[in-house]
Amino acid sequence: MKQLQKPEVLAPAGTMEKLKIAIDYGADAVYIGGDAYGLRSRAGNFSFEEMQAGADYAHAHHAKVYVAANIVAHEGDLAGAGDYFRQVRDHGIDAVIVSDPSLVETAITQAPGLAVHLSTQASATNWETLNFWQDEGLERIVLAREVGVAEIKEIRKHTDIEIEAFIHGAMCIGYSGRCVLSNHMGLRDANRGGCAQNCRWKYDLFEMPTLGDHESLLGQNSQGKTEDFSMSAVDMSMIEHIPDLVEAGVNSLKIEGRMKTVHYVSTVANVYHKAVADYCADPEHYTLDPKLVDELWKVAQREMSTGFYYGTPDENDELFGQRRKRPRYKFVGQVLAYDSATHTVTVQQRNNFGIGDKIEFYGPEFTHHEQTVADLYDEDGVAIERAPHAMQVVTFTCDTPVAKGDFIRAQEVKRPVSAR
């Protein structure tokens, strides 16, 4: 049997709730943002006290926490960086993810003992670059997103530094995530945490034969609507290629999405944890469970592809033309308690659901249970048809035992608007 090093599953954690959920659902490590130097200014970034609490929770569950500090620094951005990195270190964080050379040097020289990982923003694409950064004192390199599997294999032959690679989630259209479109169009610097995601907007193409005249060149689809396009990539998914990544020598499999929902974080961490564990347990006889692929589509926002891993992306890797139809699921609740004597589950509602809805419970280690809601009661035990109020606590019959903390999803169904 092959002896393989099991890679780390690294999940995003935009809030403390997501940090705990990611770890509970199988992540070996999470990455978060602090109050400075990160590229997600609108995420639920962590104070130092929250970093400590997050690190304590992670370490108690044999997991790690990394802090992203990967801005492109301008004049004035470096003030206080040394103290910031020392605080990060002293509050239990395992590593910082940095791209700017000045911040790399600051972290290494002014916060000794704090591991430094090179961000994908630094565009590391060859083994000579990895060895350079290793000589500078870094422990891990997050490869540029433009690096292919064959290149990773070649890189691994010439270096023993840890390699991290993105394997799932939204991919920036800019080279290694560096883009000036947001700054140009909205004075929000994507490289300093202010991205407005202009590439995701809908655009049209116009012919302008004379000044002031314009006519769309895109035409209409079969429904008579103009086929707008974006400058946006489809999402990444390498779930079907875990063996290639492990055998190429990737040490950490990174999931994008610090601003995504708990539904997304729990589902994707759960799936990749299961796939990696299954492969590393028996690589000779491994076959991907198709249920794992189906599970990822339940939280997919866009079509998915393998990006640059097996060649240069083409028009099928961009959001262009007709969209693939896919089922849409909503996160409807979380289990608070289960009474095995009465077969009753207590749930905190997160989205409207009710009697007659087909729901799906899921939990860590890929546990699943589907059923149709047959009865429903509010906190006072009064029978109700639906649970429409946010965070409402309800109970209903559930014949299969479920665990506290399990999540519930339901496929979105368009309901008729009632007449007034």
pLDDT in single tens digits along all 420 residues of the chain? 556 789 999 999 999 999 999 999 999 999 999 887 655 545 568 999 999 999 999 999 999 999 999 888 888 878 899 999 999 999 999 999 999 999 999 999 999 999 999 999 899 999 999 999 999 999 999 999 999 999 999 999 999 999 999 999 987 666 566 666 666 666 666 555 566 666 666 777 777 776 666 666 665 544 555 556 667 778 899 999 999 999 999 999 999 988 889 999 999 999 999 999 999 999 999 999 999 999 999 998 788 889 899 998 877 777 766 665 566 899 999 999 999 999 999 999 999 999 999 999 999 989 999 999 999 999 999 999 999 999 999 999 999 999 999 999 998 765 544 333
pLDDT of residue 42: 54
Q: In this structure, are residues 78 and 37 in contact, taking their beta carbons and an 8 Å threshold?
A: no
pLDDT of residue 102: 93
pLDDT of residue 364: 95
pLDDT of residue 322: 60
26: region left, alpha or beta (phi > 0 left; psi from -120 to 50 alpha): left
pLDDT of residue 345: 98
Instruction: Give exposure, 132-152, as e/b (b: 16+ Cβ within 10 Å).
Output: ebbeeebebbbbbbbbbbebb
pLDDT of residue 35: 82
Place of tokens 């630094």: 122
pLDDT of residue 246: 97
pLDDT of residue 419: 35
pTM of the prediction? 0.86
pLDDT of residue 418: 39
Which CATH code fits 329-411?
A: 2.40.30.10
Three-state SS letters, the chain: CCCCCCCEEEEECCCHHHHHHHHHCCCCEEEEEECCCCCCCCCCCECHHHHHHHHHHHHHCCCEEEEEECCCCCCCCCCCHHHHHHHHHHCCCCEEEECCHHHHHHHHHHCCCCEEEECHHHCCCCHHHHHHHHHHCCCEEECCCCCCHHHHHHHHHHCCCEEEEEEEECCCCCHHHCCCHHHHHHCCCHHHCCCCCHHHCCECCEECCCCCCCEECCCECCCCCECCECCCECEEECHHHHHHHHHHCCCEEEECCCCCCHHHHHHHHHHHHHHHHHHHHCHHHCCCCHHHHHHHHCCCCCCEECCCCCCCCCHHHECCCCCCCCCCEEEEEEEEEEECCCCEEEEEECCCEECCCEEEEEEHHHEEEEEECCCCECCCCCECCEECCCCCEEEEECCCCCCCCCEEEEECCCCCCCCC
pLDDT of residue 227: 53
pLDDT of residue 78: 85
pLDDT of residue 117: 98
For the chain, domain boundaries: 8-175+233-317, 202-231, 329-411
Q: In this structure, are residues 319 and 346 in contact, taking their beta carbons and an 8 Å threshold?
A: no
Those residues whose C-beta lies under 8 Å from the C-beta of residue 332, and which sit 6 or more positions away, are 349, 350, 351, 352, 353, 357, 359, 408, 409, 410
What's 8-175+233-317's CATH class?
Answer: alpha beta
pLDDT of residue 312: 86
Q: How many CA atoms lie within 13 A of 393 on its CB side?
A: 7
